[in-house]
Every structure is written in structure tokens, then in C-alpha cells.
Structure 1
Amino acid sequence: MRRREGGARTGRGVGVLRVVVVGLMVTLVGRLWFLQVVSGDRYVRAAAGVSVRTVALAPLRGQILDAAGRPLVANRTVPVVSVDGVALAHQADGGRAVLGRLAAALRQPYGRLAGKIRMCGPGVARPCWPGSPYEPIPVADAVPVQVALQITERQADFPGVTTELRPIRVYPYGRAAGHTLGYLQAGVGRDGLEAVYDRDLAGRPGRRVVAVDNAGNVTRVVGQDPATAGNSLVTSLDARIQVIAERALATALARTGGTSGAAVVLESATGRVAALAGYPGYDPSVWTGGVTAGQYAGLQLLSRAVQGQWAPGSTWKVASVAAAANAGYRLDARYGCPSGYTVGDRLFRNFGSADLGTMTMRGALVKSCDTVFYRIADELWRRGSDVPRRTATGFGFGARTGIDLPGEAVGAVPAASARPGDAANFAIGQGGVLVTPLQLARAYAALANGGTLYAPRVGERVVRPDGTTVRSIVPPVTGRLPASAATLAFIRGALSDVPRSGTASAAFKGFPFGRIAVAGKTGTAESAGHRDTSWFASFAPDPAYTVVVVLSEGGRGAQGAAPAARQIWEGIDGLRETR
């Protein structure tokens, strides 16, 4: 009995031992399978010192086109010289000799070239390379073919240097619309349409997976997904009108000695932008190949059409007429236009101290009588009325228009003041009032179209590379002018006389009003310590455009901005004749 029990215990012990041995074998076999089959490649790569890196492949960026499909920003394939930073780093001298020869071939300063291949990071000044160290670093764009061939044929002198054909941004119309088109620059920033519509234009990056040995050298390409080209942006800009506006602005500033200025052309009935010109400007091709810190500091990047702010002078009086009507003043009544009007102990003079007798409100606009508006503003101020300010904000002043461009200025509509005389200055577009050329153009476009305020749009539609439309861009309606239809018709009628018999008649002498019935308003705004700011705001029913010109230190509106606006209108008329 005891022997059987002992044998049973021995058998159970042997069984347990077998189970343990089998379990250990299974575990060992499983581990070997995992190491050799599942993780074999990883360990082989580790043994060989090989790792995998992913490099982004930049897509072809979409074009920016004008309303007729003419390229404003396009792509051109040119020889580009690139440097393999890792390969240079493994040279005995760190690549200094190669860079020296390359700098001489490219006719670039050595320091500038060396700066381009430094990796960006904390404490690293620009220029530097913000991308991957495992991709070629472009150091020169649009290289002459002869230089590119020289580098290619002398690879022994230029190890780690390659030349290939790559697309770069080109600007067929040169400086025209440079501020509006904008830029995207690593380490510098972004602006204009390139920034606002970047998601549409950028496309989808591809990727290249490469094997890299423990020395940092790419040994082979493991796989590659191609990039997808970006969509193109069709704008409402008319390249021909843009060029006309740029020339008119430059001519007027040269003639008057003005320091800066802007011109805006809007489609009155739609809120679309046909042209935005600003001076000083710059040539956007400067971005090709990147800019140094010194070059960037010297660029004139302020878009004065959208970001410039000036006192509007008498162009503001259209809002003051609407305010007077809203406050109960009759537009057909007669008002005195003496040489001056006294507010408290201060005499506010008419322009040139002219005494023009009595006139209707229409005459006050046509002849631009200041004292009519001084009196009405002072009377409303003494009654505690906020109608002038509320009417001005209803015209869209003191608020951004909402255009599809970054950095838009807000302008200024001062709050009601307790000081006598501030209201009088407010009524003629002085005394802290500031507008941008775009704000004024939008208000005059609303006068022309019957009262609708739009958020202007430069973009018109986004199209795929095959030409099909992704989406259309429609300027949204943001409000209505705070004036009745009768008041708006009255203002339009008065402004139609300004270039015919009013303050702009000399500038428009002989103009073909039968073809383009231009209406408008001159403005001359004082600027402390500077010459006057010159304005002319205008519109026509056919073609239904609104044109606004401002010249900083350009003198009187009738002598500076009005002739420039006429030049733009004549150019538009010439385009219509060509069609």
C-alpha cells in the first residue's frame, strides 16, 4: 500500500516536471520566433546601424489668377542648387572648402551661404533651414544654366551639392498688386492672398521614406508617396486695371511731391475688388530664394489701401448730409455759406475764407462749403444729438470692412466730445476721424448701388488643376447705409455735378461724361506738420465701378487725387473701347 502511494507521488512529480519542461520549451520557441520573425528586420537594421526617416515632398503650389485667368502668381521651373547638410558635415573640414567653392560659383557671400544650411532652433539667427536635415537644402534659385552645368559636371569639387529643376514663384506683372498677393516665408511670416488662401493653394505634401545608416547617410529609398498639386485661386482683380491704377498713383505722387498713397477700384454692385494699389510698394520676386534680415527690414510691406489711415476731409460730407437728413434738416432748404462760423470763442473758417452766399445742400456738396456743415454739427451738438456719429458708423466707418486680406486697419470714429468745436471738425472729416481708402471706397460703392454695404472680396473662386470649381467666394452683405432711398438719390445727384461744375471741374475738363458718367467728391485734409492729404472718391453707373484715390501730402483734392482718378477712369474707358 505504501509502495503504491509512493509510486503515485513519484509519477505526479515526473508529470509536473514534464509540464514545466514543455512550458519552458514553448516559451523559448515563442521568444525565438518573435525575435527572428516579428522583430528580425528591426534587429538587423540595428546591427547594421540603419534607421528609417521620413522626408516631406513639397507639392506644386497653385497659381493666383486675375478675373480673366491671367496669372498674377505662377510657377516657373528653373535650375535650383541644393546642399546635403549631412554629407557636408562628414567632410574632413565640415564642408567649409566645398561651401567656399560653391559660394564662388554662385557669387554669394560665404557667410550667407553657410547661414542657409544651418538648422533652425533656439538661439539660431535667421537665415537658417527650418526643414528636415535629411532633405536637400535649396541655397540658390533660378541659377543660370551654365553655372548649374558647371556644378553638375564637377561633382568631385562639389560633393553633397546637387542641381535639379524645381518650380519657383514668378510674378508676370512685376510690382503690380504686390501687397495684395502677399507671401509665405519660413522664418519671416506670411501675408496677403498667399496667407489667407494657403490651404487651397498649398496642395497635399507627399513623403519619401529613406534608410539612413549610423553615419547619417541615406542608403536607399524605402518608399514614396507623391505630392498632390494645390488648387488655384481666381481673383476678381483685373490685371489691366491694376496696372492702370499703379501708374496713375505713381504719376500723381511724382507730380505733387506726395510721399505715399493708395488707389482702390471696387465693383460697386458686388463688393468685389478690381484693383488695390499702394505706394511705396515692392517687387514680390524678392521672396524668390529667400531674403536676408537686412533686405526684409528695408521692404515696404504696408498695404496702404487696406492698412493706411488718413483723415478723409470733405469726402466725409456724404455721411454728414445723411446725418443732417436723419436729424430733420431739409435737403432742399437754403443755407448760408459765410466765410466763417464761430463756435464758442473760436472761428472756424471756410476753405480759403470764401463767402459763397446762400445755397441748397446740393450746392454745399458741389462747392464743398464747410460752414454749412459747421453750423448743422454745432446745432446738433448743443442739442446733445448723437446722430452724426451713429450715421458715420452706419456708413461702415470705424470698423473693419472684413476684406479677405490680413492686417486690415480699423480707422477711427471719435466718441461724442464735451468740447465745443469737436463736432464741427467731425462734420468735415477732421478732428480725429480716420478712414482707410478701402473703407471710403466701400461707403461710396454703397452710395452707388443703392445702399448695400459689402465685405469686399479679392478671391472669386477656387479651382482644381483640371479647371473645375471647388467653391465660389461671394462677398457677404454686412449692412445698409443709414439713409433713405431719397437721401441716397439726392447725394448721388449732387456728386454728379462735382466733376462737371464743382470742385473737381478743372481736373475733369473735357472728360467724356457721355461714355462714363463719373460722380465724385474731392477732399482736402489737414495734417499737423505735413502738407494736406489729397482725396477723390468717385463712382459711375456704367461701368459700375467705384474709384478712390488718396495722396499723402498731395495737396488739394482737386489738384492731386482728382486728376489721378480721372486717369484711372480714362484707362477703364479705354479697356471698354478695346473690348
Structure 2
Amino acid sequence: MSLRSRINLIIFQTLVFSLMFALFGRLFYLQVLESGKYQDAAISIQSRDVVTPAVRGAITDINGTPMVVDLPGLVVSINRIEIDKQPDKGVKVLAQVANLFQLEYSDIYQRTRLCGELPRDNRAGCWNGTRYQPIPLVGGTSQDLALKIMENADLYPGVEVQSVPIRSYPSLEGENVAHVLGYVGSVTDEDLKNPEINYYRNEVVGKTGLETKYNQYLRGTPGVRTFLVNRKEIVTKQNKNISAIAGNNLITNIDAKLQAGVEKSLEAAVKRARASGYRGDSGAAVVLEIKTGRVLAMASYPTYDPSIWQKGLTVKQAEDLFSEAKGVPALSRPLQGLFAPASTFKSVSVVAAAAAGYNLNTSYNCPASVEIGTRTFRNFDSIAAGRIPLDVGLAISCDSLWYQISYDEWVRDGGLRPKSSANDYFFKAAKDFGVGLLTGIDLPSELKGRLPDRQWKQNWYEQNKDFYCNYKDRAKKQDLTAYLIEIARENCIDGNKVRAGDAVNFSIGQGDTLVTPLRLAQIYAAIANNGTYYKPQVARAIVDVDGKLVKEFKPEVADTIKIEQSTWDFLHRGLRMVVTRGTGAGVFSGFPIEISGKTGTAEVFGKNPNGSAKDDTSWFASYGPTNDPQYAVVMMVSQGGFGASTSGLGVRNIYETLFGVSGNKVNPEKAVFPNGVPSTIAKVDLKKVAAKVDLTGVKVGGVKLK
């Protein structure tokens, strides 16, 4: 063999041995070093998980009374895989189910369609999960109807009945609390993508309100049983079995009895407005504990039955929730409703005037009208009160004296050519009270409100300049009036300027200023508290099923307004005068508890869907008792007319519930908090539910109710 041949053989042998070594090395790596990984992968291909959702934690009031709790119930679901296999794609079966439960076929069809299967403008009530999990159709169905389905399985192929925990609302005190509690819904594809939480398809999670804010505590841990199957889907063995762990309970600061009273008072105020000839389309009411910021009650009107999400939302119900004609019941007005605060804002203007150097203890002119440039700004009902002390002006809600003060300050700050050193006392006072900021309440979707200061005007101008400068081409035909065309011309030229009219309107809570009812309640709590105000809190504590404290939510100071004590003293005196001899005197006549407050009647620009002009917004903001303030109470009725006669009377009714007032006498035994707001954390008492619901032998969260 030649030398060359030997070399070639050696090279070939080396190559073969190298390949064999690499092959055996790879085999060793896969079978030994990485065996666990591939074993898991093989098992996962052959495994099937059966998930048992955990019992979701209860949400209770401040006394431990359940306001929402999981109770065992029967749920009728649709299996889309089975339905889609049928020749008619399940049309006959769905029609039979609709007939059985006295529902519209169109609603049943809509609920069983994936949202992606429907046009974007027609997805109300659609299914946002996948076709591979049961689609809940009817929650909390009766045993009789459930048995009809189970006993006639051949007539209802693809229809399943399961016993699962259902979110229930016992309403033991008659409370609704829908907007605060929120609701739960099925896990979506977006939820499943969350890398921080391992969700399962058939779980429910919080969607709004407290349910979503504290979902991590309420959710619990689902139970999982994993089975191994062969190619024919026959179970070969059980791989693991993890029991479900019930979620923790959330104790809130809401008092169910007070909440029910506030809801009734608000509804009565709206209906009173309608009886007086106003549209009265909606309203809100808030009760805060002044020294802690705890939300003791918060109501929105119109509201809705929170159980509709569990029973199965129809297309009509989904449309009604967001219908303007129905008052948009889905909107939580205490923290999402934005309204001009009107004369309730004059308390902020008092602080601004004091900072600007105005004497709060002297008299000012209250004419019927004031000429500002080319415009005439009129006092309420064009009434002149002559020269009066400022506290009397606050009590009778004189507008014209504030026109003069705010206009003078606008001129001092440079008018349309503002100085770089402009004081902007009115804007600064409003900012100190948090106007234009979030309150930080522990609920999702809160809106900020609006502080129309110089920066806001500049931002607004940049966004809208093109529209106003081309108004005749871009505006709707019905908006091409001489007045609106002139307004557009002015906005095109100097819409970024704070005009004199902006300044005087701001001082009386009109113009572009917007606040939520919750923010106004926080403002009046700060006034009562001499400048210290707290972050509003709904949650009190998280406790486990055994009552052990998991987390306590303590009061948090949001900010402190530092001004002279004499200014606070003036405000306290003036706001008490509103109730004793001012615009609120008639409503609170003979009331046995001293209350301080301020009326507000806000003019609203615009028209209703039927073309009628919008009515005024009714406000009453207050705190009490005057000498030892405990509660801040605010009510607002949209298109409700006068502040005193609509909202003022509603606020009086709330104080009657708080203090146990009947007629003009106090019955301490009927007071909501006879010994003050509880400072200790209550024990969750799920047994209270059994008094209203027949749950013999049923366990909820490990507790036998009877």
C-alpha cells in the first residue's frame, strides 16, 4: 500500500471515529443529561389536565357581611366542538335551548360565537375565549331545567351541565354596589399570555371594580388533575392531583346598610328632578370618612343588576349598559363622570382670594351683572344683593363678586399678555386641592377631571387649531350659526390664551373646569380637615378563609394644603352659613345635626339626543357634624336643576341614615355607626348568606353555612 493510500485511510478512519464519537455524545446528551426535559415533553403530549376552579374569595362590607360570594350553582354550557360537528352547525339544538330557557335565539347564537367570528360593530355579548372550552350560557339555572337537559342528552348534543361556584350577590341590606364590586368573566387569550400569572381556560377573573383590582387575592389556586392517555385518548394513569385552594376574602370600608340608604337617596333625588320638570338622566353620591379617607358608600345612577354577568348577558342587556338613552348604566359616575362643579368650587376660590391678599372679613359688591370686555356676566337670576360681607356672599352664592375679584387678578397677571411671573392664584389653589389629578382610589378606570390652566389651554389649542381655523368646512351644518362661527374665529386666533371670560368662569366652577364627584368629596373632606386629605380607600383588609389577616390597608395622606388657619376658619363659618341662612337653609331647616356645605347649579352647554337643551347639573357638597367633622357627603344629579332642592335634599336624607334622624330627632340606635366607624377589622361571616339563601349543608370557602 502506498504512502498516499495509507494517509487517505487514516484520514477516513479518523473521520468515521469522529462522527461516531459525535453521534454517541449527542445520544448521551439527549438520553442522560436532557432526559428530564424530553420526558416532560413526552408526558405533556400524552397528558390531559382537568382543572377545577378555586372558590373565589368573598367581598364583604366593613362589618364582615358578604356583598358578593361564590355559591354552588348549575351552569349550562355549549361545547362548540360538538355543536360544529352537527349537520346544521347546532342551529336546532341552540333553538331548543333558547326555547327551554325562554331566551331569544339571536342572543344564544351571539353568546356562542367567538368575537373574531362576528363583525366589529356587532360583538356585544360574544365569547372571548376559544371553541375548545365550554362556553357558559346560563348561570344559576334551576335543578328542574338542568335535569331536563341531562335526562334528554340525545336531544341536547353538545349541551353540558356542570356544578360550579357562581358569583352571587345576596344583597342582605338591599344594597346594589355594582360599580364598586365590578364583575368577573372568563379568561381571555390576552389573560393567558400574561407571563406573571398561570391562568387556565375555564377560570373566571376580575374584569372591573374590586374584582379586578384585588383579583390576585380573590382568585385562589385552581385544582389540577393530570391524566396520561394513549393514542386512543384512553386514560392510562393519573400523573398528579393538586387540590384547589379557596381565594382570600376582601373586607371593604363600605357599610352595606349605609350603601343601600345612599342608593335610595340618590334614586329619589333623580326622580325628584324629573318630577320638577328636569331631565334628570343620572347621578352620583359619595360618603367619605374625613379623618381616614375611607369610602363608606359610593353610588351611581342608573345602575344595573350585577348578577346579569353570571346569568348570561343578552345582546339587549349589553347594548342597554352603554346606551345614552338608558343613561349609560355601565358608567361609574363617582369616578368616571366629569362635570362642572359650579358654586361648590367657590370654596377653592376663597383660598385663592386669601392667597392673593383679599380681606376675607370685609364686604364686597354683589351687583346684578358685571361688564367684562364686551360681555355681560350676570349674577344668578340677575339678582343684586348690594354690598355684603364675603361670608354672606358665599352663603347666598353670589357670582358677581367673584367675577370682579377674578377679573382683577387676571389683569394683574397680564391679561392676554401674561407676565412670566404671573401669580395665577386661582389655578394654584385648584391644583393644591388636586383638581386635574387622580385621587388614587383603589378602583380601576378613574378619570382625572380637568384643570384648564395656561398649559392646558396651550395643549388644547395645538390639538384643535386646525378645526377652528377651518370651521366652516369642517363643522356640521347645524353648527354653522353666527355665534359658533365667531367663537371658532376667536379660537383660531388666540385659542391658547386664558381670556377674561375663562378667568371669571373658572372662579365660579364653570367654563372648562371639570371634576368627578369623588374629587369634590375629597376637596370638602380637606376643608373639614383643615387642609389634610387622604387617598380614598375602598379596601379595608385581606383575610384568608380562617380569618387570618393577610394584608391591611391603612389610611394614606394624599396631600396637605398649607394656608393660614384664619382662612380655614372663614371657610368653616361661611359653609355653615350656607345651611343656616343661605341657599341650603330651606332644605336643612330643623335638622338636629349641624351640617356645613355648599350648593351648586352648573350650566351645561349642549343638547340631548332629542334636540332639547341640557338642564343644569345639581350639586351639594358637605361635611358634618360641623364642630367635629366625621363625614364628607357629596351628591350630584346630572340635568337635575337646582343644587339645593334636588341634591341638597338627597344629602339630607343620607345624613338621616348616617345619624339615625327621624323627623327632627336623633335616634342613636338607628345610626349606622353608633360608636363611630369601626377601627378594628371585622370577621367575615358567610353564615349571614344562609339567612337569605337555602344552602343547607353547603360549604363556601371551607365554611359550612348551615
Q: Residues 227, 421 of structure 1: CA spacing in aligned structure 2 closer, same or farther, 3 A cutoff?
A: same
Match for residue 179 of structure 1?
179
Match for residue 69 of structure 1?
64
* Cα shift at 1:483: 2.5
**Partner AA of 1:518 in structure 2:** I
Match for residue 602 of structure 2?
525
Using the alignment, how far apart are the partners of 2:92 and 2:259 within structure 1?
A: 48
Instruction: Please identify, of 372-381 and 222-231, the stretch whose mean Cα deviation from structure 2 is larger.
Output: 222-231
- Is the 1:204–1:227 Cα contact (8 Å) retained in structure 2? yes
Whether 2:316 is the aligned partner of 1:321: answer no
Using the alignment, how far apart are the partners of 1:129 and 1:330 within structure 2?
A: 62
**Partner AA of 1:227 in structure 2:** A
Q: Residues 104, 218 of structure 1: CA spacing in aligned structure 2 closer, same or farther, 3 A cutoff?
A: farther
Match for residue 564 of structure 1?
650
* Cα shift at 1:407: 1.3
- Is the 2:453–2:498 Cα contact (8 Å) retained in structure 1? no
* Cα shift at 1:345: 3.0
Residue ranges of structure 2 left out of the alignment (5+ in a row): 1-16, 189-205, 275-279, 322-328, 414-422, 455-496, 606-612, 662-667, 675-706
Using the alignment, how far apart are the partners of 1:534 and 1:196 within structure 2?
A: 31
| 1:278 aligned residue (300, 312, 315) | 300
Using the alignment, how far apart are the partners of 2:94 and 2:283 within structure 1?
A: 45
User: Percent identity among equivalent residues?
Assistant: 41
- Is the 2:181–2:210 Cα contact (8 Å) retained in structure 1? yes
**Partner AA of 1:524 in structure 2:** T
Q: Over residues 84-112 of structure 1, what are the superposed CA-to-partner deviations in whole Å (9 max), with x where a residue is unaligned?
A: 55566677877666656555444445565
Instruction: Please identify, of 355-364 and 86-95, the stretch whose mean Cα deviation from structure 2 is larger.
Output: 86-95
Q: Residues 136, 415 of structure 1: CA spacing in aligned structure 2 closer, same or farther, 3 A cutoff?
A: closer
Whether 2:398 is the aligned partner of 1:369: answer yes
* Cα shift at 1:378: 1.1
Q: Residues 509, 201 of structure 1: CA spacing in aligned structure 2 closer, same or farther, 3 A cutoff?
A: same
- Is the 2:529–2:629 Cα contact (8 Å) retained in structure 1? no
Whether 2:161 is the aligned partner of 1:163: answer yes
> What pairs up with 1:178-577 in 2 under 5 angstroms?
178-186=178-186, 190-212=207-229, 214=231, 222-257=239-274, 258-299=280-321, 300-384=329-413, 385-416=423-454, 417-512=497-592, 516-528=593-605, 529-541=613-625, 544-574=630-660, 576-577=668-669
Instruction: Please provide the CA RMSD for this pair.
Output: 3.3
Q: Residues 556, 61 of structure 1: CA spacing in aligned structure 2 closer, same or farther, 3 A cutoff?
A: same
Q: Over residues 203-253 of structure 1, what are the superposed CA-to-partner deviations in whole Å (9 max), with x where a residue is unaligned?
A: 112212134565667787543211111111111011111111111111111
Match for residue 153 of structure 1?
151
* TM-score calculated relative to the size of structure 1: 0.85
Using the alignment, how far apart are the partners of 1:256 and 1:388 within structure 2?
A: 32
- Is the 1:86–1:216 Cα contact (8 Å) retained in structure 2? no
Q: Over residues 331-362 of structure 1, what are the superposed CA-to-partner deviations in whole Å (9 max), with x where a residue is unaligned?
A: 11221222222222322222122221222221
Q: The residue matched to 1:242 in structure 2 has which SS?
A: helix
Q: Residues 166, 370 of structure 1: CA spacing in aligned structure 2 closer, same or farther, 3 A cutoff?
A: same
Q: Over residues 368-408 of structure 1, what are the superposed CA-to-partner deviations in whole Å (9 max), with x where a residue is unaligned?
A: 11122111111111110311100111011111111111111
Using the alignment, how far apart are the partners of 2:378 and 2:87 within structure 1?
A: 81
**Partner AA of 1:144 in structure 2:** S
Q: The residue matched to 1:559 in structure 2 has which SS?
A: helix
- Is the 1:305–1:437 Cα contact (8 Å) retained in structure 2? yes
Instruction: Please identify, of 109-118 and 372-381, the stretch whose mean Cα deviation from structure 2 is larger.
Output: 109-118
Q: The residue matched to 2:654 in structure 1 has which SS?
A: helix
* Cα shift at 1:77: 1.4
Using the alignment, how far apart are the partners of 2:239 and 2:516 within structure 1?
A: 55
Residue ranges of structure 1 left out of the alignment (5+ in a row): 1-19
Q: The residue matched to 1:523 in structure 2 has which SS?
A: strand
* Cα shift at 1:306: 0.6
Match for residue 610 of structure 2?
none
What is the aligned residue count?
543
- Is the 1:322–1:482 Cα contact (8 Å) retained in structure 2? no
Q: Residues 543, 219 of structure 1: CA spacing in aligned structure 2 closer, same or farther, 3 A cutoff?
A: farther
- Is the 1:462–1:472 Cα contact (8 Å) retained in structure 2? yes
Q: Over residues 445-487 of structure 1, what are the superposed CA-to-partner deviations in whole Å (9 max), with x where a residue is unaligned?
A: 0111221122211111111111111111123212112422221
Using the alignment, how far apart are the partners of 1:217 and 1:304 within structure 2?
A: 55
Instruction: Please identify, of 288-297 and 425-434, the stretch whose mean Cα deviation from structure 2 is larger.
Output: 288-297
**Partner AA of 1:410 in structure 2:** K
- Is the 1:175–1:281 Cα contact (8 Å) retained in structure 2? no
Q: The residue matched to 2:263 in structure 1 has which SS?
A: helix
Match for residue 14 of structure 1?
none
**Partner AA of 2:403 in structure 1:** Y
Q: Residues 362, 131 of structure 1: CA spacing in aligned structure 2 closer, same or farther, 3 A cutoff?
A: same
Using the alignment, how far apart are the partners of 1:86 and 1:353 within structure 2?
A: 71
Using the alignment, how far apart are the partners of 1:377 and 1:90 within structure 2?
A: 73
Using the alignment, how far apart are the partners of 1:253 and 1:110 within structure 2?
A: 36
Q: Residues 307, 159 of structure 1: CA spacing in aligned structure 2 closer, same or farther, 3 A cutoff?
A: closer
Q: The residue matched to 2:500 in structure 1 has which SS?
A: coil
Using the alignment, how far apart are the partners of 2:165 and 2:498 within structure 1?
A: 61
- Is the 2:107–2:315 Cα contact (8 Å) retained in structure 1? no
* TM-score calculated relative to the size of structure 2: 0.71
* Cα shift at 1:413: 1.4
Using the alignment, how far apart are the partners of 2:564 and 2:652 within structure 1?
A: 30
Match for residue 140 of structure 1?
138
Using the alignment, how far apart are the partners of 2:236 and 2:93 within structure 1?
A: 22
Using the alignment, how far apart are the partners of 2:374 and 2:85 within structure 1?
A: 83
Q: Over residues 492-527 of structure 1, what are the superposed CA-to-partner deviations in whole Å (9 max), with x where a residue is unaligned?
A: 121112111111111111211xxx211001111111
- Is the 1:366–1:498 Cα contact (8 Å) retained in structure 2? yes
* Cα shift at 1:439: 0.6
Using the alignment, how far apart are the partners of 1:355 and 1:328 within structure 2?
A: 25
**Partner AA of 1:411 in structure 2:** G
Instruction: Please identify, of 392-401 and 472-481, the stretch whose mean Cα deviation from structure 2 is larger.
Output: 472-481
**Partner AA of 2:352 in structure 1:** A
* Cα shift at 1:151: 2.8
